[in-house]
Amino acid sequence: MWRSRMPWLALLLVMLALAGAPWWAAQQPFVLHMLVTACVLVVPAVGLNLMLGHGGLVSLGHMGFAGIGAYVAAVLMVDARWAFGPAVCAAMLAAGVAGGLISLLCFRFRGHFFMIVTLAFGLMLHAVMNNWDAVTRGAAGFAGIPRPTPVRWGDAVWSFGPLPHFYALALAMAVIAFVVQYLVVNSNFGRSLAAIRQDERLARSRGVDTLLYKTTVFAIGTALAGMGGVLQVSFLRVAAPASFTMLESINMVLIVIIGGAGSLAGPALGALLYVALPELLRLSNEWRLVIFGVMLVLITLFAPKGLAGLCARAWLRVWPPQRDAPASAKP
């Protein structure tokens, strides 16, 4: 009876624990810092999970689109003095539209060709960020990006300067990303997407407008990447081209795959592991990435559903489905 509600109960507990982090980790700002970093990674990872896990589209230029969002928001907030909220919306719109248009070019290619062309577009976007000095301030980075302006409500003021306050914003954005993912996956659109991933030709013959659906999911995914880019630059207070390189795009794929592509919780597991593992192992950054690379290979070899899949399997082992459950007793 309560078995079917367990996932929701677990989700509630996890959310309570995360929302309570500023209190239980009050003595360790470091933990909070790690959680914010994980949120910054999770938002674009959810976008990529929609494309890669649910739609089957492997994009190797994802962080290029996060860069579009980041720089659009940076220019709007610094040069045009926009507030944070409208800047985020504009950044998501810009990244999503750019993603949709570029994906239309990429969809002329299939399989390997598609991945290579997305990689090429990611590199071109990075080259623009690195070299268009007049707007992006070039390789030195775009410094002086403000934190969101304080929110006033009566006498109370909520400024985003202190880490716990910024953490609330980051967590809220991560939750929004997951809600978007949940809504997309559990809609008719999401089911058609799954059909396209499993067999594109069959889906088309059943009347699914595959090009429209693939373009749409690409636009949603890149818009989420743009949101993650804004979150990142307003956290670091600088937009640097080095955050949006090919290697960062590859890291994003790795987070999604290690977490479990196509599972709802996968991006969160992947991002948390990505941030927490080096601290647990007390290793230098290089060895962390070596271990992650090897893990990625091992996961593709032995656990294609990632950590989320492993957790689900362990769960079934601990609580095996009961044979005399009411569901199976029905005729």
Tell me which residues touch another protein (CB under 8 A).
56, 58, 60, 105, 108-113, 115-117, 119-121, 123-124, 127-128, 130-131, 246-247, 250-251, 253-254, 257, 284-290, 292-297, 300-301, 304
Q: Enter the tokens of residue 229.
A: 């880019």
Q: Are 76 and 87 in contact (CB under 8 A)?
A: yes
Among 184, 208, 172, smallest CA distance to 42 is for 172
The per-residue DSSP string of 222-243 comes to: HHHHHHHHHHHHHHHSEE-GGG
**Residue 201 vs 323, nearer CB to another protein:** 201
Whole-angstrom distance, CA of residue 236 vs CA of residue 223: 20
Name the minimum Å distance from CB 198 to another protein: 13
Q: With respect to another protein, which residue has the nearer C-beta, 83 or 294?
A: 294
Nearest by Cα to 66 from 48, 39, 85, 50: 48
DSSP string, 69-91: HHHHHHHHHHTS---HHHHHHHH
Of 66 and 253, CB closest to another protein: 253
Supply the minimum distance, in Å, between the C-beta of residue 185 and another protein: 19
Nearest in space to 38 (alpha carbons), one of 177, 184, 149, 158: 177
CB count within 10 Å of CB 150 equals 12
Rounded to a whole number of angstroms, the minimum distance from the CB of residue 213 to another protein is: 19
> Nearer to another protein by C-beta: 144 or 304?
304
Shortest separation between residue 116's beta carbon and another protein, angstroms: 5
CB 236 within 8 A of CB 79: no
Which is nearer to another protein, 60 or 196 (by Cβ)? 60
User: What CA–CA distances, in Å, run from 126 to 70, 95, 295, 330?
Assistant: 12, 14, 27, 58
Nearer to another protein, 115 or 239 (CB): 115
**In terms of CB distance, is 6 or 116 closer to another protein?**
116
Q: What is the closest distance, in whole angstroms, from the C-beta atom of residue 158 to another protein in the complex?
A: 39
Q: What is residue 238's three-state secondary structure?
A: strand
| Nearest in space to 256 (alpha carbons), one of 208, 189, 290, 304 | 304
Q: How many residues does the chain have?
A: 331
The residue among 66 and 171 lying less far from another protein, judged by its C-beta, is 66
In angstroms, the Cα distances linking 137 to 131, 143, 175, 182, 239 are 8, 9, 32, 37, 9
DSSP at 51: I
Least distance in Å: CB of 282 to another protein? 15
Compute the least distance from the CB of residue 66 to another protein, in Å. 18
CB of 255 to another protein, least distance (A): 11
